[in-house]
Structure 1
Amino acid sequence: MRIISGKYKGRRISPPKGLPVRPTTDMSKEALFNVLNNHFSFEGLKILDLFAGTGNISYEFASRGCTPITSVDGDFGCVKFIKQVAAEYDFNIAATKSDVYTYLERCKTSYDIIFADPPYGFDQKTFEKIIELVFERDLLNSEGMMIIEHSKYTKLNHMIHFSFQKSYGGSIFSFFEITSGDDEEESEITEDKEEE
C-alpha cells in the first residue's frame, strides 16, 4: 500500500496481517483521485472515511493537505493501526471505533467529501442506507461529494443525488452530489454516464 501523491508521495505503509479488510487497490485509488482532482482543491477539506479499514484512503487525503479527517471503522485493530500511522506522519486523522450506521445517525458535522467502502458482501439495502442517512441528516456540504466503492452486483444509480460512476477492474465508484437540477435532468445525466 503506497501513498500516490502529496507530501508523502511514494511512501509505503504496511498494515499488520490479519486485519479484516479488502483495501482499495493502488490502481483504483489513483483513478479515484484523478477524478477528485478535477473537482476539488484538497487543502483544508473536511473528510469522512467510512469503513476505513487500513486507513488507505484517509492517508491519501491527508498527504494532499485535507484536514480534519475522520476515519470510522468497527474493528479495533484497524482503528489502532490508523492511529499509529496518523501519529507517525503527523496526519490530522481522528480514528473512531464505531458501527458506521450508528455513527451517521449520531453525527452532527457536515463534510466536503464522504468516502465509503463497505464490504462488497453487503446487500443492496445496506448500501442504500448509507446514502439515505447522509442526505437525510445533511452530512454533505452543498459543494461536496460522496463516493461509495462497490462491486458490479450492487446498483446505486437510482438513488437520490446520484451523479455518475466510474469502473476500474472489479471496483465501481458511485459519486453523489447535491444538485439543483430537476429529476428529469438528473436521469439524463445518469444515462449518459452509464453509456460511457
Structure 2
Amino acid sequence: MRIIGGRLRGLRLNPPQNLPVRPTTDLAKEALFNILQNQIDIEGIKVLDLFSGTGNLSLEFASRDAAEVISVDKSIRCVHYLKDMAKQHGLEQIKTYNADVFKYLQMETEVYDLIFADPPYDLSRIPEIVKIVFERKLLSPDGILIVEHQTMQNLSNHPAFTEQRKYGHSSFSFFRA
C-alpha cells in the first residue's frame, strides 16, 4: 500500500500484519481518485471514512489536503495505527473514532462533502449504510457517498444510486443526494 497523490505521494504504508482488514488495492484506489478528480476538488472538503481500517483512504484524502477527515473503525488496533500515522506525518485534519459504524451513523449530526464506506464484504448490512446516510441527511447538497463492495453485490436499487465502477472482485457504488 502506498499514498498515490498529494504531499505524501509515494509514502509506503506498512501496517502491522495482525490488523483485521482488507485494504483497498492501489489499483482500485488510483482508479477511485481519478474518478473523484473529475467530480470534486478534494482540497478543503470534509470527509467521513467508515470502516477505515488501516486508514489507507483517510491518509490519501489528508495527503491531498482535505480539510477534515473523520475515520471510524471498531478495531482499536486500526484506530491506533491510523492515529500514529497521522501524528507521524503531521496530518492534524485526521480525527479517529473507535466505534461501531452503524451506531456512529445513528448519532452523527455533521454533514460531509464525501462519505466513503469500505465495510467487510461479508457484512449483510451494507445496504443499510446508504439508507442511514440519506435518512439522516449526512451529505452536503453536492456530496457523494461511495461504498466499496463485492462486484457481485448490487446496490443500484437505492434512488440516490448514480453508478457502479468494477475493479475485479471489488466495486465502488456512487450515490448523490
Q: Secondary structure at the match of 1:3?
A: coil
CA distance in structure 1 between the partners assigned to 2:5 and 2:167 by the alignment: 19
Superposed CA deviations along residues 138-196 of structure 1, whole A, max 9, x for unmatched, are: 00000010000000231101112000110012110000001xxxxxxxxxxxxxxxxxx
CA distance in structure 2 between the partners assigned to 1:12 and 1:152 by the alignment: 27
Q: Secondary structure at the match of 1:34?
A: helix
* Residue 44 of structure 1: aligned partner: 44
* Residue 23 of structure 1: aligned partner: 23
Unaligned runs of 5+ in 1: 179-196
Deviation of residue 94 (structure 1)?
0.4
Superposed CA deviations along residues 44-82 of structure 1, whole A, max 9, x for unmatched, are: 100000000000000110010002100000000000001
Q: Which runs of 4+ in 1 moved over 2 A?
A: none
Superposed CA deviations along residues 104-163 of structure 1, whole A, max 9, x for unmatched, are: 00001000000000000112xx11110111000000000010000000231101112000
* Residue 135 of structure 2: aligned partner: 136
Amino acid in the other structure paired with 1:118: P
* Contact residue 151 and residue 168 of structure 2 kept, 8 A: no
* Residue 157 of structure 2: aligned partner: 158
* Residue 168 of structure 2: aligned partner: 169
Matches within 5 A, 1:118-137: 118-123=119-124, 126-137=125-136
Amino acid in the other structure paired with 1:177: R
Greater helix fraction, Structure 1 or Structure 2: 1
* Residue 2 of structure 2: aligned partner: 2
* Residue 69 of structure 2: aligned partner: 69
Q: Secondary structure at the match of 1:142?
A: strand
Amino acid in the other structure paired with 1:113: L
* Residue 117 of structure 1: aligned partner: 118
Deviation of residue 43 (structure 1)?
1.0
Give the length in aligned residue pairs.
Answer: 176
CA distance in structure 2 between the partners assigned to 1:71 and 1:87 by the alignment: 14
Q: What's the % identity of the aligned pairs?
A: 48
Amino acid in the other structure paired with 1:161: A
Amino acid in the other structure paired with 2:167: Y
Greater strand fraction, Structure 1 or Structure 2: 2
Amino acid in the other structure paired with 1:60: E
Unaligned runs of 5+ in 2: none
TM-score under structure 2 length normalisation: 0.98
CA distance in structure 1 between the partners assigned to 2:71 and 2:86 by the alignment: 11
CA distance in structure 2 between the partners assigned to 1:152 and 1:99 by the alignment: 24
Amino acid in the other structure paired with 2:41: S
CA distance in structure 1 between the partners assigned to 2:62 and 2:168 by the alignment: 25
